[in-house]
């Protein structure tokens, strides 16, 4: 983790790609006390398409209405 003072952070904000390129996390301090933490942006999680999700799911061999009827009959 890289630590910067407020003054260093202000000077470096004109070129943030150079300032934060080598650090995974940056802690900004004022008089030795932390005032801010700068973290890298996380990439967005990719969501699979509904068609791909449905294709990956196993198909039922017994129709759901038969399973529901068996469950209801077992309760009586």
The closest alpha carbon to 9, from 24, 25, 27, 21, belongs to 27
Counts of helices then strands in the chain (DSSP H, E):
4, 3
pLDDT, residue 72, reads 95
Tokens of 59: 């198909």
Give pLDDT tens digits for 24-63.
Answer: 888 889 998 999 888 887 778 888 899 999 999 998 899 9
pTM greater than the 0.75 cutoff: no
Instruction: Please tell me the distance from the alpha carbon of residue 75 to that of residue 36, in angstroms, as a whole number.
Output: 60
Give percent of the chain with pLDDT exceeding 90.
33
Over 80: is that where the pLDDT of 14 sits? Answer: no
Q: Where are the domains of the chain?
A: 2-38
């Amino acid at each position: 983790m890289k630590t910067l003072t407020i003054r260093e952070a202000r000077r470096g904000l004109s070129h943030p790609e150079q300032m934060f390129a080598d650090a995974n996390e940056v802690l900004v301090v004022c008089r030795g006390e932390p005032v801010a933490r700068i973290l890298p942006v996380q990439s967005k999680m990719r969501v699979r398409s509904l068609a791909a999700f449905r294709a990956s799911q196993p198909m039922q061999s017994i129709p759901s209405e038969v399973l529901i009827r068996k469950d209801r009959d077992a309760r009586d």
